Chains A and B, each alone.
Chain A
Amino acid sequence: MTQSKRSPAAAAKPAARSRQRRLYRLRRWIPAYLMMLPGLVYFLINNYIPMTGLVVAFKKYNVRTGIYASPWNGLHNFRFLFTTGDAVIIVRNTVLYNLAFIVVNMILGILLAIMITEVKNKLAKKVYQSVILFPFLISIIIVSYISFAFLSADNGLINRSLLEPLGKESISWYTEKKYWPFILIFVNTWKTVGYSCLIYIAAITGIDDSLYDAAKIDGAGKFQQIWKITLPSLVPTIITLGLLNVGRIFHANFGLFYQVPMNSGSLFDVTNVIDTYVYRALLKIGNIGMASAAGFIQSVVGFVLVYLSNLIVRKLSPDDAMF
């Protein structure tokens, strides 16, 4: 009797219990989802909604109706961008400067990293490493103040303390185009070489010491050790870092190209990059069509480049790939 009474209840219980357990399990995750919420909402606002806003490049923007309700105007914005000839200049400048930055930072970064790891005195090593990294932590505005102190036409250090005493004529740095490719590469190197140097130091520190010991026993000199051991060991880092930077080749450091040349109009041919162009078109000229067309190209080509470079990195060194 007791058995027959019990059995239906016992049969019903596991089903109810498992449903309950599943509910309990899901409810258990609720705090986790709630904790994710602020961050997810932020990315929605700051990143995802602007992504959908890229359609503005194909629209005739109307302030009153907003992006999505503005009328379409096909490729008009792009046609306008390309007929002015600006598109070619800004893409050329962005890509070429970035290539130069990548190459110079790589060569100088490796060279300095080799030298710093050679220094065995701990204090000296620390000082070199910290000092080289310092400009990386300073805002580009401060950098523009410093370069202005050197380059100002009236009382800059170079004109007043170098060219004047030598009896040479002073140079109007902020209006002479020909110097700026060098100045920009120099300033960028000054500011960022510490960063790549640090990454190469980490890679060199990871090289097995016994390789060097073996080479020494075989009578290899310093340069042979660097050439035969250090540099080959750095190849994966070089390729990875290079590819990741190539992935960002359509994005320029706005401040470097805008504020270091002091937004000087006579330099635009050699200082205008996609980012400065978009900013000026949007906020100085108020031509949203042109700005959004250039921005659209930057976003899309930038995406393709990041994607492709990562595919290659993933093939070569899966640990360093972003995905």
Chain B
Amino acid sequence: MIRTKGEKAFLAASHAVLLLITACVVIPFLLLFMSSITDENELVAHGYSFWPSKFSLEAYRYLIRKGSSIFRAYGLTAAATLIGTAAHLIMGSMLAFALSLRDLPGKKFFSFYVFFTMLFSGGLVPTYLLYTNTLHIKNTFWALVVPYLMLNAIHVLLMRTFFTNSIPSAIYDAAEIDGAGIFTIYTKVVLPLGKPILVTVGLFAALDYWNDWLNGLYFMSDMDMYGIQTLLYRILEDIRTLASRAEGASAFATIQIPSTAIRMAIAFVAIIPIVIIYPFLQKYFQEGIALGAVKG
């Protein structure tokens, strides 16, 4: 390809800007990781740095030795992510499949029923009161799974559109002639052919579960039931509480707060799953966003 002088200059400028932006994204994560392998005394004396004069793996050793509460939170988040994503996909795809059936009586009503949840919401107060006072979900594992995340209308409608547009109705007709019932069509035809959309939706559902800290914040008072993100939130919150009461610190000296390096190590461990799957699945992330699988 032949480029004019102006085009070359523009391309060079583009690279420069994009490299700068890339650095802006990478550097904070680098700082997070480097401070997790910095010697604690060094952190106290000289603050966070990109290249500490003294490295230490003590934070990670500590996590392995004494991190039972952290592993517990990690495990709870992992379990909630697995169970929640499975429920999200099963409930969502069944609903979407039914809504994609051409002649289903009442289809319009049910589509609107799903869609309307995107327009209007009761907000935190009634939702909180329902889940805590009526359903008594507080401090149970289900509080991490059920509220807010177990299904969302955007995903149902995305799957419905995919099923309607990408699965030829001739396949349905053929299956019907073979005497296959609706449920058989769902398991034998729709699920295999709908794989791309199921992966995309599942990915975003899993991400929402993994990153969620609000269900823990709203519905857990027992720290043993915190997921990893809520635990991280709580640790930082305790530091602030302690700092703002520095004068009377002696009274709070008994509160155990992990050192800076350990905190950063926990935070780093919490993003590892995303870092690992991202390169392999980034196509699905990008497609999902282009489709509108997330609210902006």
| Subset of 19 A-B contacts with CB under 8 Å | A40-B110, A43-B113, A56-B129, A115-B17, A119-B11, A119-B15, A139-B211, A139-B229, A141-B211, A141-B229, A141-B233, A141-B267, A142-B232, A142-B270, A142-B271, A152-B47, A248-B295, A282-B124, A299-B123
Chain A residues lying within 8 Å of B128, measured Cβ to Cβ, are 282-283
Interface class of chain B by DSSP? helix
- Tell which of B21, B94, B119, B207 touches A35, judged by Cβ atoms closer than 8 Å: B94
Enumerate the 8 nearest inter-chain pairs by beta-carbon distance, A residue then B residue, closest first.
A53-B126, A50-B122, A160-B47, A39-B95, A155-B47, A139-B211, A115-B14, A295-B123
Whether A38 pairs with B124 at a CB distance below 8 angstroms is no
Smallest beta-carbon distance A2→chain B, Å: 35
In contact, B133 and A138 (Cβ under 8 angstroms): no
**Stretch from B53-61, B148-156, B165-173 contacting the other chain:** B148-156
With A148-B236, A157-B47: A63-B133 Cβ-Cβ less than 8 Å:
yes
B282 interface residue, CB < 8 Å from A? yes
Interface residue? A24 (CB, 8 A) = no
Q: Tell yes or no: B240 within 8 A of A by CB.
A: yes
Q: Using an 8 Å CB-CB cutoff, how does the interface string of A148-162 with B read, 1 for contact, 0 for none?
A: 111010111101110
* B residues at A contact (CB < 8 Å): 1, 4, 6-7, 10-11, 13-15, 17-18, 21-22, 24-26, 28-29, 31-32, 35, 43-44, 46-49, 90-92, 94-95, 97-99, 101, 104-105, 110, 113-115, 117-130, 133-135, 146-148, 150-151, 153, 156, 181-183, 186, 207, 210-214, 218, 229, 232-233, 236-237, 240, 260, 263-264, 267, 270-271, 274, 278-279, 282, 285-286, 289-290, 294-296
When C-beta atoms are compared, the residue in chain B nearest to A310 turns out to be: B119
How many residues of A sit at the interface, in one of the four size bands? 35 or more
Which residues from A are CB-within-8-Å of B28?
146, 149-150, 190
Closest residue of chain B to A292 (Cβ to Cβ) is B125
Per the 8 Å Cβ criterion, residues 127-155 of A in contact with B are 127-135, 137-142, 144-146, 148-150, 152, 154-155
How many Å from the CB of B278 to the closest CB on chain A?
7
Chain A residues with CB under 8 Å of B49's CB are 157, 160-161
Query: A27-64 toward B: CB 8 Å interface, digit per residue (1/0)?
Result: 01101110110111011011111111110110001010
Tell me which residues across on chain A come within 8 A of B95, comparing CB atoms: 35-36, 38-40
A90 proximal to B (CB < 8 A): no
Question: Are A282 and B148 in touch, CB under 8 angstroms?
Answer: no
Q: How far is the CB of A245 from chain B (nearest CB, A)?
A: 6
CA of A302 to CA of B110 in the docked complex: distance in angstroms?
A: 23
Residue of chain A at shortest CB distance from B291: A202
Complex: chain B residue closest to A159, CB-CB: B47
- Asked if A51 meets B44 with Cβ closer than 8 Å, knowing A36-B99, A40-B110, A139-B211, the reply is no
Task: Give CA–CA (A140, B31) in the complex, Å.
Answer: 17
- CB interface residues, A 269-306, toward B, < 8 Å: 275, 278-279, 282-283, 288, 291-292, 295-296, 298-299, 302-303, 306
Complex CA distance for A120 and B3, rounded to whole angstroms? 12
A196 near B: Cβ within 8 Å?
Answer: yes
B24 touches A190 (CB 8 A): yes
Nearest B residue (CB) for A297: B123
Q: Does A263 contact B (CB under 8 A)?
A: yes
* A180 contacts partner chain B, Cβ-Cβ < 8 Å: no
Most B C-beta atoms less than 10 A away, residue of A42, A159, A241: A42
Which chain B positions have C-beta within 8 A of A120? 1
Q: Which residues of B contact A236 (CB under 8 A)?
A: none
Most chain A beta-carbon contacts within 10 A, residue among B47, B183, B278, B286: B47
Which residues of chain B come closer than 8 Å to A268, judged between CB atoms? none
Any chain B CB within 8 A of the CB of A85? no
